[in-house]
Amino acid sequence: MSKKVTLYVVLTALIIAASALTACQPAAETAAPAAEAAPAEVAAPAEEAAPAEASLAVGIVLPTKDEPRWIQDETRFKDALTTAGYDVEILFSQGDSAKEKANVESLISKGVKILIICPQDGTAAAAAAEEAAAEGVKVISYDRLIRDTTAVDYYVTFDSIAVGAQQGQYLIDNATGTGNPLYLYAGAASDNNAFLFFEGAWSVLQPKVADGTFVIKNSSEAVTLQDKAELTRDEMSKIIGQVSTNWDFNTAKNLAEANLTATTAADKGEVFILAPNDGTARAIADAFGADTDVTKYYVTGQDAEIASVQYIIDGKQSMTVWKDVRTLVSDAIAAAVALLEGNTPNASGAYDNGAKEVPAIQSAVVTVDKNNVMSELIDSGYYEASQFTGLE
């Protein structure tokens, strides 16, 4: 098959996938109507051909199989692309930047034109991105930003500052009076998103620490900085250094237990916990739930992982921030299509990665708690009611 035909088929498959996904989105989130119009003229040849060569046009690298969040992304990519008869290769880095680089090299050697990559470590991934760019591969940073390199063409993300702000706001909305114990936890310092989430949370929580609503219990660095409304990256690093979960269940559990051991009964009672994501929220909730001096806890999360949605239904986790992965996948595919066509993908803004302003498209996030699990996660078709018990 000629190169031209291969590219044509790839585009066709991707456009169909993008269109199918677009059709799934609620009206407010639907992207340019152009995607709806495209398949009519181009659909037929794709069905005839469904070529093996086409499978190598796009390669996807995700950080780890060990967190349900990234299995969600794998599933949604597969749903979108294989439905269109397109065999995409998705590789996992298993928390290892060296494996990530080897994955990228393997995809380059197979001739990918577009690399969609969610870096394990935002800075370490720069080398892999540069290797891809040197071979003429376009690099789409997916969910997490690759830092300190110009070898990133585009960034597809959720509004990560809003994620943190919604977590912080949830705690505020449930607190009354003053002196409420506040425990802060963060993601991995190697992940740029950990800073964005913390920045968003701090933006709403700091005024409530300053006015006495909350008292920070587990970070001396945060206490030192508690009168500063806006923190520099270095200042955030200091706090994150004390309260990082490293996105790891066991690290989160051990840290929470250590914090509970270091504090007294007077620092407990009804407590408020900023947990950065669902995996760590469940670990931290288990630790706080087991402490007899904790009479009630509010704990945040994000990702709407199935296990956490069940925790929310069971009253063990207070909320999650739902990031509809279907939207992210759809945006990534639309960007891949545009880049394959030699066009500029739609961008709604840009993110400074330390070396360039990376054009970005970002999508909205939704707070989910017991009250709206049904309307947001089930009625939207994201999950099925049968995946949970005790759902009303």
Interface positions with ligand BGC (CB under 6 A): 67, 69, 143-144, 187, 191, 193, 247, 277, 302-303
Of the two residues 226 and 254, which places its CB atom closer to ligand BGC in the complex? 254
Quick one: 186 or 338, whose CB is closer to ligand BGC? 186
Residue 86 or 197: the one with the smaller Cβ distance to ligand BGC is 197
- Asked if 164 and 255 count as a contact pair (C-beta separation under 8 A), the reply is no
Q: How far is the CB of 116 from ligand BGC (least distance, A)?
A: 15
- Our CB check for ligand BGC shows the closer of 142 and 297 to be 142
Is the Cβ of residue 6 or residue 367 nearer to ligand BGC in the bound state? 367
Q: From edge to edge, which strands make up the β-sheet containing 214-216? A: 214-216, 180-184, 269-274, 294-299
Closer to ligand BGC by Cβ: residue 221 or 303: 303
Q: Is 348 exposed, middle or buried (0-12, 13-18, 19+ CB in 10 A)?
A: exposed
Under a CB-based contact definition with an 8 Å cutoff, are residues 326 and 25 in contact? yes
Q: Could you tell me the smallest distance in angstroms from the CB atom of residue 142 to ligand BGC? A: 10
| Closest alpha carbon to 244 in 187, 191, 291 | 187
**C-alpha dihedral sign at 375, 378, 379, 381:** positive
Q: How far is the CB of 25 from ligand BGC (least distance, A)?
A: 19
Shortest approach of ligand BGC to residue 306 CB, angstroms? 14
- What is the DSSP code string of 288-303? HHT-TTEEEEEE---S
Characterize 69-104 residue by residue with b for buried, 16 or more Cβ atoms within 10 angstroms of its Cβ, and e for exposed. Answer: bbbbbbebbbbbbeebbbebebbbbebbbebbbebb
CB of 163 vs ligand BGC, minimal distance in Å: 8
- Spatial neighbors of 213 by CB under 8 A, at least 6 apart, are 172, 175, 177, 178, 180
Min CB(72)–ligand BGC separation in Å: 9
Of 231 and 281, CB closest to ligand BGC: 281
Residue 243 Cβ, how far from ligand BGC at the closest point, in Å?
15
Closest by CA to 223, choosing from 245, 234, 233, 238, is 238
Which residue sits closest to ligand BGC, CB atoms considered?
A: 277
